[in-house]
Amino acid sequence: MEYIRQIGKNFGAVYLILITIFCYQLADITSALLKIVIIPGISKPAAVEEKKKKEETQIQSVPSTINDYKIIVDRDIFHTPAESSMQANLKKIDLKNINLDTIPLSQSGLQLVGTTQGDKKDDKKSNIAVIRKGEDVNSYHVDSPINGGRVLSILKRAVVLELNGNIEKLVLDIAPVNVINKFSAPGKAGKPVNPPAPVAEKGRVIERSSLHLDNMGDFMKQMRLEPVMAGDKAQGFRVSQIKPGGIMSKIGIINGDVIKSINGMRIEKPENAYQAYQSLSKESSITVEVERGGRNITLNYELKD
C-alpha cells in the first residue's frame, strides 16, 4: 500500500517520463518509415543528382529552332542598328559586272584624269585611277580611301566610288559637277603600233606646241600605262598601245618601254607622270630614262617654243 501511495504522490513525474519515452520511440519509427517509403534504397543526394541528369537529357534531346529565339529577336534587347543606306546600295550592285547606267554621276567635284589597267584582275593594286581634287592629283587603288569614302571599282574609262553612303561614278568622258574641265575627254586609244625608235641624240628639237601640254585628256588617251611592281612599290610604268604621232612617239618611247624617270623625277605613281607632264611647259629640254629590253636608255630632247 505504501508503494502505491508513493506512486500516486509522484504520478505527474512518472507520467511525463513515460510520455517522453513514447514520443522518442515514435519519432524514431516514423523517420525509418519515411526513408523506406519515399526513397527506397537510395540516399537523398544521389536521388537529386539522378533527377538532374534526367532533366538535362530531356532538354538536350529537343532540337532548337529559330522560333525558339523569336521573342529575343523581336524584343531586340541589344538594339541592333538597322542596315545602312550604303549597305543597301552595295547589295544592289554587282561589282564584277557593273552597269554604269544605273549609277549616278558623282556630285563631289572630283575629276577622273585617267586609269591604268593591269593584267592581274584579282589584284586590287593592279588597276590604278588618277583622280584630281582641286589642285591635287593622286593615284588610287580599289579600296583606297578618298574624300571620306573609298574606291569600289576601277574600270577602263570610269571609277565607282562610295561617298557618304552613296554609290557614285566618275567618268572620263563627262566633266565633274561644279568643276571647270580644263582637259578634253579622252577618246579611244589607237591600235598598238611600234614606231621605229629614234636615236637618242643630244640637241634634237621638238616643238613644244606639238606636245599639247594644255590638254591632259589628250595625253592620257595616247597610250596605256601599266605599273611594273617590285613587291608593293612601283618601279616605273610600262607603255603600250602608243598612238602614232602622239606625245610618246615624238619623244622616242616605243611599246614595251618602262618609263622610270622624266627630267629626274622618278615615275613611281601615275600622278608622277602627270606632274612631269605638267612641268614640261616650263622646261627647255626633256630627259627620259627608260628600260628597254633589259637595258636602261636615256632619251634627250630640246623643247622649242
| Pick from 153-157, 179-183, 193-197: least confident | 179-183
- Collect all residues with Cβ–Cβ distance below 8 Å to 141 and sequence separation of at least 6: 124, 125, 127, 128, 129, 151, 154
Question: Are 168 and 104 within 8 A, CB to CB?
Answer: yes
Work out the average pLDDT over 223-249.
80
Residue 101 in this model has a pLDDT that exceeds 60: yes
Which pLDDT score, from 0 to 100, does residue 34 have? 65
User: Cα separation of 55 and 33, whole Å?
Assistant: 28
Residue 165 in this model has a pLDDT that exceeds 60: yes
User: Cα separation of 273 and 260, whole Å?
Assistant: 10
pLDDT, the chain, mean: 72
Question: Are 117 and 123 within 8 A, CB to CB?
Answer: no
Which pLDDT score, from 0 to 100, does residue 1 have? 58
Q: Collapsing DSSP states into helix, strand and coil, what is residue 178? A: coil
Residue 184 in this model has a pLDDT that exceeds 50: no
Query: In the structure, what pLDDT confidence band is assigned to residue 187 with cuts at 50, 70 and 90?
Result: very low
Residue 182 in this model has a pLDDT that exceeds 60: no
Query: In the structure, what pLDDT confidence band is assigned to residue 269 with cuts at 50, 70 and 90?
Result: confident
Structure pTM?
Answer: 0.47
Query: In the structure, what pLDDT confidence band is assigned to residue 112 with cuts at 50, 70 and 90?
Result: confident
Residue 237 in this model has a pLDDT that exceeds 60: yes
Higher pLDDT, 232 or 104: 104
Residue 288 in this model has a pLDDT that exceeds 60: yes
Query: In the structure, what pLDDT confidence band is assigned to residue 111 with cuts at 50, 70 and 90?
Result: confident
Among 121-125, 126-130, 284-288, the range of highest mean pLDDT: 284-288
Alpha helices per DSSP H over the chain: 2-9, 11-38, 44-60, 70-75, 85-91, 216-220, 247-250, 270-279
- Collect all residues with Cβ–Cβ distance below 8 Å to 230 and sequence separation of at least 6: none
Strand partners, 149: 146
In eight-state DSSP terms, residue 101 is G
User: Cα separation of 131 and 108, whole Å?
Assistant: 12
Residue 28 in this model has a pLDDT that exceeds 50: yes
Say what the alpha-carbon torsion angle 215, 219, 220, 221 is, to the nearest 10 degrees: 100
User: Cα separation of 140 and 269, whole Å?
Assistant: 9
Work out the average pLDDT over 215-241.
76
Task: Give the percent of the chain with pLDDT over 90.
Answer: 6
What are the chain's domains? 94-171 (2.30.30.830), 205-304 (2.30.42.10)
Higher pLDDT, 288 or 206: 288
